[in-house]
Structure 1
C-alpha cells in the first residue's frame, strides 16, 4: 500500500502557491528573528500555524473555520508580543475563509478577524504611532471584505462550471439527435428497400421463379449498402453527393415499380459540401417516405434556379399524407433546410400525391449565367 501525501491543492497552484510560500517564509523569518519569544515557543507557534494552514487549505466545512480561528489566535499573540504588523498574515486565512461552503462560517470568520484586529489595537495602543494605526485600519477593512469577495468569485466559478456542464449535456443531446436522424435517414431508408424487395421476391416465388434470383442479388447488394452506411455513420461521414443520391433514389424507386423522371434545369450550379449533403439527406428521406407510404406509380424530380434560390421539387402521384402522421422524417427535412437558411414545403392537399419542395438561397457567385 502506497501512502500518498497531499501537499498543496493542484487547482490552486497557478494562482496561490507562490503567494502562500512567500507568506510562510516571511512569517518564519520574522518570528525566528524576533527576540521577544524563547526558541521553544517560536517553534511551537510556527508548527501550530503550519498545521492550521494545512487543514484550512484542504477543507471547506467547519474544519476550515476551526483552523482559521486557531490561526487568528496565534496571529493575535504574535502581533501583541512581536509586532502589530503581524496582523498582515491574516490575509491568508481571510482568503481561505471565502471558500467555505457555509455563509455562517464565513460570517463567523469575519467576526473573528474584527476581534483579532480590535484586540491587537487595544493591547498595543501605547506602542503604536498614529501613522501605524492609520495603516492597520485599512488592512483590517480589507481583510474583513476579502472573504466576501472570494465567496462571490468562487460562486461565479461554480456557476461557470455548472454552465459548462449544461452546455456539454446540450452538445451530447444534439449529437444523439444527429445520430438518430442519420440512422433514420440512412439505415431506415435502406432497410425499407430491403423490406420492399423481400415482399416482391416472396410474390415472385410462385408467379415467376426465374426472376427470384436477380431480386435476391439486389437484396444482397442493398444489404451490403446498409453495412457500408453503418461504417460511414461510425466514421462520421462528412459528405454525400446530391447527384449520386438522386441516381441512387431513382434506381430504388424504379426497382419498386415507380416510374421516375428528373428535370435538372441548372446542372452547372455549385453547392457547398454542407448544402449538398443536407439536400441529399432530404432527398433520401423523401424517397423513403414515398416507398413506405405513398403507393405511388410515378415520381418526378425537378431542380430549378430562380430569383437567387435553388429549388428541388419531388412530386409523386400517391395517396398523399391524409392517413399518415407527420413523424420524424418530415421534421428532419424541415430542420435540415432551416440549418441552411432555407425552407421545406410539404403539400399533400392536391387531388392526388404529395409534393416536397426544398428551397435554399444561392450564395453570391454560385448562380449560373443565363
Structure 2
C-alpha cells in the first residue's frame, strides 16, 4: 500500500505558504540561537512539538485543531517566559488556523487559550500590568483573540460564494438543458413530423398512384438524412441557422404536403445578425411544424416587411386554426426566442379562415432601408 505524504494544503499555498515558512524560520532561529536558561535539548523538543502541533492544526478542522492550538499556546507560553516575552507574536499562526474550525465552541475555547497565554506570560515576566511591554502586548492579545472570529467569517463568506457559484452552475446547466430540449423540439420534431406526413401520404399512394411512391420514398430518405444532419449539428453545437435557407426549406416542405406556398420579401437588403437569423429561422421552423400538424391548410403566404424600425415576418394560412389546440410548447418557444431579441411573437387566431403567426424584432440602427 502506498501512502501519500501531505506537506501543505494546496488551496493555501498562494496566500499562506510564504508567511508560514518565514514565521517558522524566524521562530527556529530565535529559539536555537538564544542564550536562555533552557537547555538546548529542551528547546529542540519544544520546537519539535510546536512543528507537530502546527502540522496537525494545518490539516484538520475538528477537535484535533483545538487540541493542537492549545498545545501550541502552552509551548509559546514557555518560550515567552524563558526566551522572550515577544514570542507571543507567534500565536497569530494558530489564531489564524483556529478561525477555520468547524465548531464555534472550538473557536471560543481557543480564544480563551490565547487570553490565558498572554495573561500568564505577562503575570510571570512583568512586575506590573501597566508596564510598557504590557501596554504593547495587551493590544496584541486583543487582536489575536479577534483574529479567529474574523477568519471564521471570511471562510464562511468564501463557502457562501462557492455555494452560490454551484447554484449558478446548476442554473446555467438547467438553461442549457432547456435550450437543448427546445432545439430538439424545433429541429428534430419538425423533421420527424414531415417524415410522418410523407409516410402517410406514401401509404395512400401505394394503391392509388404506385408510380409516385418511389419519388415519395426518395423524399422521405432525403428528409431522414436531414434529421441525421440536424442531430450532428446539435451534438457539435453548430447553432447558426440561415433564415433564407430555412424559408426555402419550409416552403418546399409545405409544397410537398400539397400546401401552396408563396414567399414575398419586401426588404431583402436588411442584414440580420447571426443570432437574429437563427432565432427567426427556428421560429419559422416551429410555425411550419404547427401548420403541418394542425392547420389542414391548403395555402400559406409568408411575408417579410419593414416599417417604423421593425422587421416583421408573417406566416398566414387558410386552415382551421388553433382554437382547439391551445398554446403549446412550440408557440411558447417562439415567444421566448423573440423576447431574447427584444421583439415579439403573436398568434392571431380569431377568425375561422386560418392562423397568422407574426414575428417582430427591432431593426438595428443604420440597417433600416431608405424609403
Match in the other structure for 1:346: 347
Match in the other structure for 2:176: 175
Match in the other structure for 2:109: 108
Gaps in structure 1 of 5+ consecutive residues: none
Match in the other structure for 2:284: 283
Offset, 1:128? 8.5
Equivalent runs, 1:236-255 vs 2, <5 Å: 236-255=237-256
User: Match of 1:37, SS?
Assistant: coil
Does 2:69 align with 1:68? yes
Match in the other structure for 1:131: 132
Q: Partners in 2 of 1:179 and 1:141 — Cα distance?
A: 57
Q: 1:10-32: per-residue Cα shift (whole Å, max 9, x none)?
A: 01111101111111111111111
Q: Partners in 2 of 1:149 and 1:129 — Cα distance?
A: 28
Q: Partners in 2 of 1:84 and 1:168 — Cα distance?
A: 51
Match in the other structure for 1:295: 296
Q: RMSD value over aligned CA atoms?
A: 1.2
Q: 1:57 to 1:116 in 2, by over 3 A?
A: same
Does 2:19 align with 1:15? no
User: Match of 2:351, SS?
Assistant: coil
Does 2:90 align with 1:89? yes
Gaps in structure 2 of 5+ consecutive residues: none
User: Match of 1:299, SS?
Assistant: strand
Check whether the contact 2:123–2:129 (CA below 8 A) recurs between aligned residues: no
Q: 1:70-93: per-residue Cα shift (whole Å, max 9, x none)?
A: 100111111111111110000000
Match in the other structure for 1:152: 153
Offset, 1:259? 0.9
Offset, 1:127? 8.7
Equivalent runs, 1:1-370 vs 2, <5 Å: 1-35=1-35, 36-126=37-127, 130-370=131-371
Q: 1:324-344: per-residue Cα shift (whole Å, max 9, x none)?
A: 132210111000000001011
Q: 1:238-271: per-residue Cα shift (whole Å, max 9, x none)?
A: 3211111101001000111111111211111111
Offset, 1:121? 1.1
Q: Partners in 1 of 2:130 and 2:57 — Cα distance?
A: 34
Offset, 1:351? 2.5
Offset, 1:33? 1.6
Offset, 1:320? 1.3
11-20 or 125-134, larger mean C-alpha shift:
125-134
Q: Partners in 1 of 2:208 and 2:158 — Cα distance?
A: 74
Q: Partners in 2 of 1:104 and 1:194 — Cα distance?
A: 69
Offset, 1:48? 0.5
User: Match of 2:304, SS?
Assistant: strand
Offset, 1:318? 1.3
TM-score by length of 2: 0.98
Offset, 1:169? 0.7
Q: Partners in 2 of 1:327 and 1:269 — Cα distance?
A: 31
243-252 or 262-271, larger mean C-alpha shift:
262-271
User: Match of 1:118, SS?
Assistant: helix
Q: Partners in 1 of 2:328 and 2:160 — Cα distance?
A: 38
Q: Partners in 2 of 1:104 and 1:355 — Cα distance?
A: 69
Q: Partners in 2 of 1:108 and 1:356 — Cα distance?
A: 71
Offset, 1:129? 8.4
Q: 1:32-62: per-residue Cα shift (whole Å, max 9, x none)?
A: 1223210111111111000000000000011
128-137 or 308-317, larger mean C-alpha shift:
128-137
Q: Partners in 2 of 1:13 and 1:58 — Cα distance?
A: 13
Q: 1:320-368: per-residue Cα shift (whole Å, max 9, x none)?
A: 1111132210111000000001011111112221111000000111111
